[in-house]
Amino acid sequence: MRFFFAALIAACATPSEAGAPAESAMATIPKPGPGQAVAVFAGGCFWCMETDFDHLDGVVATTSGYAGGHTKNPTYMDVTGEDTGHQEAVRVVFDTEKLSYAAVVDYYFHHIDPTDGGGQFCDRGDSYRPVIFAESAEQAATATAAKAALEAKKALPGPIVVPVVEGATFYAAEVYHQDFHEKNPSRYLPYRLGCRRDARVSEVWRAEAG
């Protein structure tokens, strides 16, 4: 489950804590347009994953949600109960004229700790572990090759433990989780800082950066 750092951090709260109705509606999943493609990743808190991908030039839309589990139409409370098999995930729609899928995968790897399979940063448990959810066999091959290339460099502090999973269904999370960093910066920013996400990413990738 997600860790709280006293009054410093406000993590993925319950709907009422986040200022939303107790039974919040699920978000709509945007369809890719011409010249656009979809990539889905899990990398810990989906608020943070969504924020990171919103900063990547060529990304058209991001959606926080759930993927990889066995429960249909899961809610946030279902997933945080750690018995659905789902991970918090982000669905990324990107412009293929500006970004290749390989570039999106590389960006993903450089914004997580790919050596930590027990969760990410302060968030521990199956629902926070990193996963690449490939949308096709071609994406799976590209992601697997990217993972192998990183492992061959031997620049990280441990083996890369991010699985590549093909064919998982993505479910959008509740509306109040979408763009959380913009809607609730007073909750989001202390959480991200207290979780040491950016600090740990810098530590993990320091050797590769030289």
Q: Where are the domains of the chain?
A: 36-209
pLDDT of residue 5: 40
* Confidence bin at 79 (pLDDT 50/70/90): very high
pLDDT tens for 28-69 read: 999 999 999 999 999 999 999 999 999 999 999 999 999 999
Whether pLDDT at 21 is above 50: no
Predicted structure pTM score: 0.90
* Helical ranges in the chain per DSSP H: 46-54, 76-80, 101-109, 137-153, 180-183, 185-195, 197-209
Apex 134 CA angle, 80 and 92, nearest 5 = 70
CATH superfamily of 36-209: Peptide methionine sulphoxide reductase MsrA (3.30.1060.10)
Q: What is the pLDDT of residue 210?
A: 59
Catalytic residue annotation: 45
Which residue, among 41, 59, 61, 39, has the nearest Cα to 49 in the 3D structure?
41
**Which percentage of the chain shows pLDDT scores above 90?**
86
